[in-house]
Homo-oligomer: A and B are copies of this chain.
């Protein structure tokens, strides 16, 4: 069952979300503070049973310089050519973390340096994480969607999106990786985070997002009852007088606002039977996106979206935009 308007209508749909006042200054300041906070990028090899890949445990400075974890997976040295590797920085979906070192082998097996960033304070759901969130916890609905939601300064996604931008900064400092060929990517929350990273570090080489979450909040809240969007609904059901306040805060991280600031070549995908991320919210961000772009539509899929088929299409897209050298 389609969960949203029809595909022809989606191509016409435009989100009504507007840029909040001062949003560029807000993010510029946030990012400047994070970069000013210093911190080292640490890379520690991990022993695994893998023979075709090597995995490193990376710690890099994220929001406010706080340490954030990631896995860096590389093809085995015998398979690496002379030049630096192209890089895929991946962000993960809601509730998960970076998982185990031995998971998520596709991207490095395809020849990329693959940095899989941990998600602060999540990572006990479908996959594990190792990075704590910081800041106090005001009254909130379980989950992170309403953590610190009464101000852009304290909102959870300010911290996560800053981590995401700083992950790009971090990989650009590492030997053997090509700082000119860094793509950002992700699925669902990871997709929304990648859009933000492409906005905050607009010179990334490519953006690839599958069924990206966190876009077009006002429409999403009106048309879906599925978590995690629904966490916000439940919060506003209790905090009835904060509707305008919360909507203003959400606009600071909304994927539609972020997409306007992206410049890299981008690939989006949406699924017409997706109840978790209604496709109109993806199209809302897609139409707003500021760089060259393409969209894949999966008419009979839910939130699983294009799955491996879309991963393979993403690999082809990345090869086109990052070049084959060194892969």
Contacts and interface: CB of A to CB of B under 8 A. Distances in A.
Contact of A52 (B75, B95, B134): B75
Contact of A123 (B125, B139, B302, B315): B139
Interface string A217-247: 0000111110000100111111111010000
A111 interface: yes
Contacts of A123: 139
Interface stretch (A97-105, A160-168, A184-192, A193-201): A97-105
5 contacts: A1-B222, A51-B110, A121-B137, A122-B139, A233-B300
A121 B138 contact: yes
Interface stretch (A37-45, A170-178, A255-263, A306-314): A306-314
B132 A137 contact: yes
A35 B124 CA distance: 34
A76 interface: yes
Contacts of A281: none
Contact of A99 (B108, B110, B308): B308
Interface residues of A, number: 82
Interface in A54-96: 75-76, 78-79, 95
Interface string A126-137: 111111111011
A132 B273 CA distance: 28
Q: Determine which residue in A6, A131, A301, A307 has the highest number of CB atoms from chain B within 10 A of its CB, and name it.
A: A307
B137 A299 contact: no
B111 A139 contact: no
Nearest to A98: B139
Stoichiometry (number of copies): 6
A143 interface: yes
Contacts of A298: 240
A299 B99 CA distance: 20
A139 B134 contact: no
Nearest to A50: B109
Contacts of A127: 238
A141 interface: yes
Nearest to A128: B238
Contact of A146 (B102, B111, B124): B124
A78 B79 CA distance: 7
A124 B109 contact: no
A249 interface: no
Q: Determine which residue in A75, A126, A137 has the highest number of CB atoms from chain B within 10 A of its CB, and name it.
A: A137
A273 B233 contact: yes
A300 B1 contact: no
A68 to B, nearest CB: 12
Contacts of A126: 238
Contacts of A312: 49, 100, 102
